């Protein structure tokens, strides 16, 4: 008796970028979210991808104490939401330690891979942002908001839309091409705006490689590891060197 073979799964599902547990990602990225939002209001700059702080400042009527109270209330609300609807171990301290160590490892490997691919790039200087504290705060903001903008929305949402349009194309090939395009857009983002760097092809290629690495982490490991890797990498670049 013949049996029909089960269809082989695609090498990369269009939903692969969203396979991580959303509530766990919320819990694991909350320290970065809170640290950035509590600190950025004391600075004269904020991450260009930050679409939330300005609205929160307006709600607080530019009162820093009220702003901090609202920010902490949001943290409490997220904690309650995750506690009620997420995994029981979402706030296990071991998870935070492991995702931080994972971020350190990926940041080191990513920097090494990018340097190997296009050569070394001089480290940035924290003095450009006014010292270590603003640099750390901005690094956390970049890790959180740029991962939302470029990995969740641009890559994940764009890949989902493209898969609907180009349904006959291999999802793996489509994902690789789209990841490369998103990496280039991510790299170009760093030359736009008042804090943007002067255009340089070498640094553009370097950042494109890093952007592709962030996308790979997002797809294979999830949103939280990508955020921690991005934030810790930027701290390394801006502060530790």
pLDDT, one tens digit per residue, over 6-19 is 444 444 444 343 44
Average predicted confidence (pLDDT) for the chain: 86
CA angle 69, 94, 145 (to 5 degrees): 45
Distance, CA of 82 to CA of 229 (rounded, Å): 22
Q: Is residue 180 part of a domain?
A: yes
Task: Please determine, for residue 97, whether its predicted confidence score (pLDDT) is greater than 50.
Answer: yes
Q: What domain range includes position 33?
A: 19-240
Q: Is residue 51 part of a domain?
A: yes
Q: Is residue 13 part of a domain?
A: no
Q: Is residue 92 part of a domain?
A: yes
Q: Is residue 4 part of a domain?
A: no
Task: Please determine, for residue 72, whether its predicted confidence score (pLDDT) is greater than 70.
Answer: yes
Q: Is residue 234 part of a domain?
A: yes
Instruction: Assess contact for 140 and 100: CB atoms under 8 A.
Output: no
Band of pLDDT at residue 131, cut at 50, 70 and 90: confident
pTM, entire model: 0.86
Instruction: Assess contact for 115 and 236: CB atoms under 8 A.
Output: no
Domain count within the chain? 1
Q: Is residue 151 part of a domain?
A: yes
Place of tokens 């390394």: 236
Q: Residue 103: what are its φ and ψ, rounded to 5°?
A: -65, -40
Q: Is residue 10 part of a domain?
A: no
């Amino acid at each position: 008796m013949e049996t029909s073979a089960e269809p082989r799964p695609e090498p990369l599902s269009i939903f692969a970028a969203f396979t991580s547990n959303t509530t766990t990602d919320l819990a694991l990225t909350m320290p970065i979210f809170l640290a950035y939002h509590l600190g950025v209001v004391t600075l004269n700059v904020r991450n260009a991808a930050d679409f939330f702080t300005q609205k929160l400042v307006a709600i607080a009527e530019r009162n820093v104490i009220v702003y901090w109270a609202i920010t902490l209330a949001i943290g409490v609300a997220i904690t309650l939401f995750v506690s009620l609807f997420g995994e029981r171990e979402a706030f296990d301290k071991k998870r935070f330690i492991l995702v931080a160590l994972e971020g350190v490892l990926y940041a080191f490997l990513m920097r090494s891979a990018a340097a190997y691919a296009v050569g070394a790039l001089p480290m940035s200087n924290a003095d450009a942002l006014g010292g270590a504290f603003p640099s750390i705060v901005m690094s956390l903001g970049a890790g959180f908001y740029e991962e939302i903008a470029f990995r969740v929305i641009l890559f994940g949402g764009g890949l989902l839309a493209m898969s609907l349009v180009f349904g006959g194309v291999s999802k793996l090939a489509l994902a690789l091409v789209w990841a490369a395009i998103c990496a280039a857009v991510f790299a170009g983002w760093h030359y736009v705006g008042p804090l943007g760097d002067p255009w340089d092809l070498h640094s553009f290629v370097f950042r494109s490689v890093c952007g592709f690495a962030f996308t790979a982490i997002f797809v294979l490991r999830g949103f939280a590891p990508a955020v921690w890797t991005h934030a810790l990498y930027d701290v390394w670049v801006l502060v530790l060197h």
